[in-house]
Chains A and B, each alone.
Chain A
Amino acid sequence: MKAKAAMIMETPVHPISKEGTQPPAASIVGISKRFGKTSVLENISFDVAEGEALVLLGASGSGKTTILRIIAGLEQPYTGKVILQGKDVTELPARERGVGVIFQAYALFPKMTVERNIGYGLKIRKRRRKEIKEKVKELLSLVQLEEHRKKYPSQLSGGQQQRVAIARTLAYDPEVLLFDEPFGALDAQTRVHLRREIRALLKKVNVPAIFITHDQEEALELGDRIAVINVGHIEQIGTPADVYNKPATEYVATFLGAANIMDGVVRGGQVEVGSARIPLPAGAHEFSEGAIVKLIFRPEDVLLGKTQELPAGLGCLSAGIIEETSFVGAYERLRIRLERSGNSGDLGDTPFYLTTETPESQSAKPIIATRPKPETLSTSLRIGDRVFLGLTSFTILPKESRTKKGLAE
């Protein structure tokens, strides 16, 4: 067992790659997990490429921590495989996997100095003292903690502790780094600073990393790709821009940033939302005539005008009355109650739009829009003003079957 572990440590064996396609550094294949009768993960699969940072984003209780623990070997999956550098490690105990875990509270050994914490992995592997010393020195300078090397973890700040935790895992050249809510214990300012630092550090050492977080801002900034996890399954996986701009599900749209959601009906290749007709974007789902769909758009995608004439190419969605304006620093946020009038003739008495998800069912729920500062300066809008709304960007999704959602909850 020991020899095997040592082998994967020193020379990661890459399976022969076909025509230069690099194999993924880590693959998770069809993982599911149950605790007793409760299913917490369902068929989770994803790859992490060499040097890539993947963020598992989800609310607490979504199962993201369990995924991390399964990769680390601290938890056994019910079905599925964990493959690191082409090697199936599903059956291996945590200590033979060679993964680096940065625990939520860092889990530094309190009775060891910074130096000894970092050297622990090599000491366990019975490396020569001289070799350990050199490696520790190298890592101390990498994470810029040379002057703190004799200190104990309790004498360090949160950020410093985190750097020790990272250096401690880098010492034994891990196959993959796993970060469990790495910034949860830090204040907002340190958080922003540290995640940039870690991002730079990861690019430097070129080790693939999996982060788990519930913070969407963190996910967007840290990840090369983001996997949005909801009650045990992956809703969507893609680059931050993809996931943000083209949410695959309503959950993704609302969890990652704010989103307005309206119901519409597909008629003649267009989506009718109240009196407005919105062309189905190219490459959208195939919808049958009369299908009920969801129109999803972000507050910053709403263009407001005082007249019905909106910039070229933008159809007018509706008119509405401003109910509330609030200043949120970088931009202005407006709550607009859409008018229910303006039914198109052929829809008869259909209300402006249907919201079946809220108690305000069948009544118009307000739309949230944001405007950048320059715009607020040039045209000021007040409560009670009537405005016309256009959309610069939007997503059309099929209306989710309620049974699926019901099951999940």
Chain B
Amino acid sequence: MSTMIPTMRHVRGFDVARPLSIGMLVLMMLPLVFLPLASIFWFGTLDGLGSFWAALNAPEAIFALKLSMVTSFWATVFNVLFGLFAAYVLSRYNFWGRNALIVTISLPTAIPTAVAGFALLLVWGPYGLLGRFLQPHGIQLMFTAGAIILANIFVTFPLAFGVIKPVFDTMSRSLEEASATIGATRWQTFWHVTLPSLRGAIVSGALLTFARAVGEFGSTILVSGNLAGRTQTAPLYIFAKFNEGQIEAANAIAIVLALFSFLIFSVLFFARDWLDVD
């Protein structure tokens, strides 16, 4: 028997380290990730799906979800377009201060979100840098849906840019030159040649931005005013309901947000061949 074991190990490739290390990994993730996620679903459906639906159908809940989606959508549209433009400029032209611009674009994600919200108030608030000139005209940007969009744009600013820029950098210039010699205008070249190569980066950049914007809390709570049914986004709703002790209401929205992020990251992961990003 003693001579059999090494042979068996060799033939079957059995390695104790494998199941042990996999088990260890799962075990470590259990209290850190799996349990918190599972508990949302566990407690949210404890009283049956009926109460879950009821909590979800509360007008304020529906409004909060809708507001989150709409504000995140517009922030995403802006940041993807901006990211495309910025990536184009910063990878095609070399100029003084180029690196400083790249760093500045990337900065907003590194700033605590509460600071971001505060900074926006200092600019657009009634007594802010620019807000004080708008105020007399009856224009109040803060504590509206617009403020939420501004906050979302700020905190997700570099995400799409960060995904699109490397693709621009590695894209061969000769593709665009080929298109030009064939007879295309700059715009035709961009539309037919450059943009298709960026498709994956644009989609994944947009998904990242959107996922991040939907979950934004710190800056939103400062700039939105957190008015239920008016400027309360989904994360703010969860926070408010939790504070009021309405755990079921908070939990229902939490489930929706968790599922939503799960969906987005599954798309990013499983469609990465189609998106050709890795």
Contact = CB atoms under 8 A, between A and B. Distances in A.
Contact of B178 (A96, A107, A111, A172): A107
Contacts of A101: 177-178, 181
B193 interface: yes
Max chain B Cβ within 10 angstroms of own Cβ: one of A72, A100, A110, A168: A110
Interface residues of A, number: 30
Contacts of B203: none
A59 to B, nearest CB: 22
Given A109-B193, A110-B197, A111-B196, A168 B174 contact: no
Contacts of B185: 95
A103 B174 contact: yes
B184 A124 contact: yes
Interface in B148-187: 172, 174-175, 177-185
A95 B181 contact: yes
Nearest to A123: B192
A141 interface: no
A105 interface: yes
A-side interface mostly? loop
B188 interface: yes
Question: Interface range on chain B: under 10, 10 to 19, 20 to 34, or 35 or more?
Answer: 10 to 19
Contacts of B196: 109, 111-112
A74 B177 contact: yes
Interface in B183-227: 183-185, 188, 192-193, 196-197, 199
B180 A74 contact: yes
Contacts of B188: 124
A74 B180 CA distance: 9
Contacts of B177: 72, 74, 94, 101, 103, 107
Nearest to A93: B180
A5 B188 CA distance: 16
A124 B180 contact: no
Contacts of A108: 178
Interface in A97-130: 97-101, 103-105, 107-112, 120-121, 123-125
Nearest to A120: B182
A103 to B, nearest CB: 5
B175 A109 contact: yes
Given A103-B177, A104-B174, A105-B174, A111 B182 contact: no
Contact of A172 (B179, B183, B193, B199): B183
A236 to B, nearest CB: 29
B164 to A, nearest CB: 16
A100 B175 CA distance: 13
A73 interface: yes
B197 to A, nearest CB: 6
Contacts of A125: 183
A168 B180 CA distance: 13
Interface string A259-297: 000000000000000000000000000000000000000
A120 B233 CA distance: 47
A169 interface: yes
Max chain A Cβ within 10 angstroms of own Cβ: one of B175, B181, B192, B199: B181
B178 A103 contact: yes
Nearest to B188: A124
A74 B181 contact: yes
A5 B183 contact: yes
A107 B189 CA distance: 13
Contacts of B175: 107, 109-110
B200 to A, nearest CB: 10
Contacts of B183: 5, 95-96, 98, 121, 124-125, 172
Contacts of A100: 181-182
B182 A121 contact: yes
Contacts of B184: 95, 120, 124
Max chain A Cβ within 10 angstroms of own Cβ: one of B179, B182, B188, B193: B182
Given A103-B174, A124-B188, A94 B180 contact: yes
A123 B184 CA distance: 9
B278 to A, nearest CB: 16
A332 to B, nearest CB: 44
A172 B181 contact: no
A383 to B, nearest CB: 51
A124 B184 CA distance: 6
B25 to A, nearest CB: 36
Nearest to B175: A107
A168 B184 CA distance: 13
A227 B273 CA distance: 47
Given A109-B175, A109-B193, A120-B192, A72 B181 contact: yes
Contacts of B179: 109, 120
A174 B199 CA distance: 31
A110 B193 CA distance: 9
B174 A107 contact: yes
Nearest to B185: A95
Contacts of A99: 181
A107 B180 contact: no
B199 A111 contact: yes
Given A111-B196, A111-B197, A168 B182 contact: yes
A246 B141 CA distance: 82
Contacts of B172: 105, 107
Interface of B: 172, 174-175, 177-185, 188, 192-193, 196-197, 199
Given A103-B177, A111-B199, A123-B192, 11 more contacts: A5-B183, A73-B180, A93-B180, A94-B177, A95-B180, A98-B183, A105-B174, A107-B174, A109-B175, A124-B184, A172-B182
13 contacts: A72-B177, A93-B180, A95-B181, A95-B182, A96-B183, A103-B178, A109-B179, A109-B192, A111-B196, A111-B199, A120-B192, A169-B181, A169-B182
